A = this chain, B = another copy of it.
Amino acid sequence: MLRKIAVIDVGSNTSRLIIMAYTPGVSFRLVDQLRERVRLGEGMGAENLLRPEPMDRTVRLLKVFRGLCHASGIDAIVAVGTSAVRDARNQAEFLRRVQASSGITLRVLSGDEEAHYGYLGAVNSLAIRSGLMLDIGGGSLELVRVQDRQARRTVMLPAGAVRLTETFLRSDPPKAAEIRTLRRYLEYMVHDLDWVEAGPDHVLAGMGGTIRALAKIDQLLQGYPLDRVHGYLLTRRAVEEIVTELARLPLRKRRKLPGLTGDRADVLLAGALALLEVMRRAGYTELLVSGQGLREGLFYEHFLRDPGPVTVPDARAFGIANLSFLYDVNWPHARHVQTLALSLFDQLRRLHGYGAAERGVLSHAALLHDIGLAIDYYTHHEHSANLILHADLPGFTHREVALMSQLALYHRRGLPTAQVYPGLLRRQDGDLVEKLAALLRLAEYLERSRTQVIQALRCRIQADRVTVECLVRGDASTELWATERKADLFRRAFRRDLALTTRPAPRSTGAGKRAAAAVSTTLAERMRELTARPG
């Protein structure tokens, strides 16, 4: 059953609305969003009072949000206030005004709750197992220690970008002494937090507008080939360079830096300094950017809860299945292409020499190779490649995304060129793309009629050829005809001819039947598995 929910987040800097359409526990998609930097926390100062002008701006905006919610026919509104609202001495007055004018009841999140929902949004969109999550907002900064995808410890610090700027960086450009004082304050804030320190294989993930803006600027400076910040790796060195540049420029010039929207120029420096201090204290040299946080976390609680968990156990598998569901993928076909491609990969390992990482890329690309069919038949390989690049697939690195996109692009025809994505794919990756694309294409044509008629494969590697014995149940003439016509890429990639033979598939054993039943699970069932409480 399709539902629609609105999530509203009234922050110190920006207020945002997202509208999600979803089937509980199965699939969701974003269908609308609005945002405006109304700076509710502006001028709160040490008195912690929301000022009339910022309150008016926010109340007006929430009325607009309410109008769009009403027009969109949503089932529920989840609206929260964070740091500015939480800390305001005149909180009650503000909540009353919001309620009276827009009918929206704001739930004021505690610092721990805010950190928790940020963590939920990020952990469900990244493949992190353990490490630290950092959310820099306008008013506060949250840190969550993650162990085996569970939140173990949380702290909220009054060190958001707007608050730090208003408290410490009052000159334009900021004076060296002001920056020194701010740094000392930050150092003091994180001094006792020994539980944030990095362990082996730990990952630092970050969210919030400050971090997204830093990632965008760094991407522009690097000439980065993808226009996505979710999943981007931001190094400490890169942040240091941006900080040096921001610190010496007056606001007027900071506003003109590439990638910096005018309305964040004034508070970015303080936020970046806070990030650097956390990286130093915890001992991380890079940060994985999450485009998802608080709002998505609030959404996941509704999407997943009762009776399931609020974190998906496998963010990658869930993301792939969600995308497949939205694009109406032929799931038995996709699963079978995956099975055949991995069988080829494993049996031909001696010829390609690739390992688990490359196997994973092939496996996920096989599931997604046909998503472009939702758009157009003749050019579906191009659309699949494009959608994979733009889908913000949770838990994959940008290099993996670029590779999967290339495999989908070449799954039907064409000879892969050594496409270069600066910083992601190098010319030398041409061999990898060619070999994996050849295996995916072979699997696709061995499943050309999409009926799983070729049930399994046995490969024999000879000096001049690879013989693939197809275990067949039914009429595989379409598959054999199509595969023989499309073997060019295989020949080129493996420098061997391809020979196909067939024999009837043996009758299934009990185990085989159970395995077949598992494969024929529908996508909706698969998604319920992926969102179910483990064990």
Contact = CB atoms under 8 A, between A and B. Distances in A.
B449 A67 contact: yes
B377 A390 contact: no
Contacts of A60: 481
A23 to B, nearest CB: 16
B477 A71 contact: no
Interface string A365-393: 00000000111111100000011001100
Given A64-B481, A390-B379, A481-B64, A475 B374 contact: no
8 contacts: A30-B377, A30-B378, A31-B377, A64-B478, A67-B449, A70-B449, A374-B375, A386-B386
A58 B374 CA distance: 32
Nearest to A449: B71
A230 to B, nearest CB: 11
A29 B376 CA distance: 8
Interface residues of A, number: 38
Nearest to A227: B379
A31 B477 CA distance: 20
A189 interface: no
Contacts of A36: 485
A450 B71 contact: yes
Interface in A21-65: 29-34, 36, 60-61, 63-64
A149 to B, nearest CB: 26
A72 interface: yes
A451 interface: yes
Contacts of A453: 71
A70 B29 CA distance: 35
A116 interface: no
A212 interface: no
A418 to B, nearest CB: 22
A63 B449 contact: no
Name the 10 nearest CB pairs between A and B, nearest first.
A71-B449, A67-B478, A71-B451, A64-B481, A30-B377, A68-B478, A67-B477, A68-B449, A64-B478, A67-B475
A389 to B, nearest CB: 10
Contact of A377 (B32, B68, B387): B32
Nearest to A479: B67
Contacts of A374: 374-375
A145 interface: no
A70 B475 contact: yes
A524 to B, nearest CB: 19
B68 A448 contact: yes
A387 B68 CA distance: 27
Interface string A6-32: 000000000000000000000001111
Contacts of A379: 390
Interface string A451-475: 1010000000000000000000001
A450 B70 CA distance: 11
Interface in A86-123: none
Contacts of A449: 67-68, 70-72
Contacts of A33: 377-378
A64 B448 CA distance: 11
Contacts of A71: 449-451, 453, 478
Contacts of A375: 374-375, 387
Contacts of A29: 377
A31 B374 CA distance: 10
A69 to B, nearest CB: 9
A325 to B, nearest CB: 14
A509 B70 CA distance: 28
A63 B481 CA distance: 10
A391 B383 CA distance: 12
A22 B249 CA distance: 61
Given A63-B477, A67-B475, 8 more contacts: A31-B373, A68-B448, A71-B453, A71-B478, A72-B450, A374-B374, A376-B390, A386-B386
A476 B477 CA distance: 61
A46 B425 CA distance: 58
A503 B373 CA distance: 47
A376 B67 CA distance: 23
A169 B259 CA distance: 63
A165 B32 CA distance: 59
Contacts of A64: 477-478, 481-482
Contacts of A451: 71
A25 to B, nearest CB: 21
Contacts of A386: 386
A375 B383 CA distance: 10
Nearest to A451: B71
Interface in A111-144: none
Give the residue among A32, A373, A451, A478 with the most B Cβ atoms within 10 A: A478
